[in-house]
Amino acid sequence: MVMLLMMLNIASIPAFAQSSAQMREKIQQEAQAYLLSAIGDAHGDDNIQVSIVPVDDRIQIPACHTPFQYHADSSALTQSYISVRVSCGNNDWYLFTNARVARTRTVVVTSGLISPGTVLTSANLKLAEVDINQLRHTSYMSQKELIGARMKRRVRDGQPVQANMLCFVCKGDRITIRAQAAGMQVKTAGIARQDGVIGDSIQVVNASSKKTLIAEVASTQTVVVNL
């Protein structure tokens, strides 16, 4: 009889261990899905990778008759390491599991070493996944929107192209000033007094009147004055 009981106890150990392992795996998968959703809602342009630290084998996970609940402080969702509180709705049990989060973005980077004054073409640009911590200024997700811009400084291969590195209109450039109002447009020649990227407001001089104007950079050759 004793031998029979011992055999039954030994036989039950693998089933219990497997069930506990499945519960830990379930928590890890659901915590990962929770973070991917929570972070993705706040950072739609980023590619998010979440790695959950395995739940310690020594932690006993009780049966939960309702879905596990997951919560992380909203202020922590921008960090590289996040703690997630896992709890069960039908008892007071909870644990904290940790996750490592990598955030990347597909942006335009340099293809080869680029010298100051170089006009950007499709030959010296490419797309790559970049850690967002390297993106401290406006970056670009399309090579096409950078064609014709000029580098203001030397840039190494594979470096993200950011707005502070270049100018679409550079100081001293001869440009077209397009003045527009109520559906009418007038064009005149001008000279840029400042560097600017598309969307920037810079000082330009009307080549005919010598009057200084504030205009918005529209392309590598044109600025716009709204009257």
Q: What is the CATH number of the domain that holds 218?
A: 2.30.30.760
Say if 143 falls within a structural domain.
yes
Q: 99 and 22: one domain? A: yes
Whole-angstrom distance, CA of residue 34 vs CA of residue 11:
36
Say if 7 falls within a structural domain.
no
Identify the pLDDT of residue 44.
Answer: 59
Q: 20 and 97: one domain? A: yes
Q: 126 and 140: one domain? A: yes
C-beta neighbour count of 143 within 10 angstroms: 18
- Which of 118, 151, 167 corresponds to the end of one domain? 167
Q: 207 and 222: one domain? A: yes
218 pLDDT higher than 60: yes
C-beta neighbour count of 214 within 10 angstroms: 13
CB 88 within 8 A of CB 64: yes
Say if 140 falls within a structural domain.
yes
Query: Measuring CA to CA, which residue among 139, 146, 149 is closest to residue 169?
Result: 149
Q: What's the CA angle centered on 178, arms 174 and 184, to 5 degrees?
A: 160
Say if 48 falls within a structural domain.
yes
In CATH, what number is assigned to the domain containing residue 114? 3.90.1210.10
Identify the pLDDT of residue 45.
Answer: 64
Q: Residues of the chain with pLDDT > 70: what percent?
A: 90
Say if 112 falls within a structural domain.
yes
User: Mean pLDDT over all residues of the chain?
Assistant: 88
Q: 73 and 36: one domain? A: yes
Q: 197 and 216: one domain? A: yes
**DSSP state, 186?**
E
Say if 10 falls within a structural domain.
no
C-beta neighbour count of 52 within 10 angstroms: 20
Q: Kindly report, residue by residue over 8-53, the tens digit of the pLDDT.
A: 333 333 434 447 788 899 999 999 999 999 987 655 567 889 999 9
Q: 95 and 26: one domain? A: yes
Number of domains in the chain: 3
Tokens 């955030």: give the residue: 103
Say if 120 falls within a structural domain.
yes
Position 115: which residue type? S
Domain that holds residue 110: 105-167
Q: 95 and 39: one domain? A: yes
Say if 81 falls within a structural domain.
yes
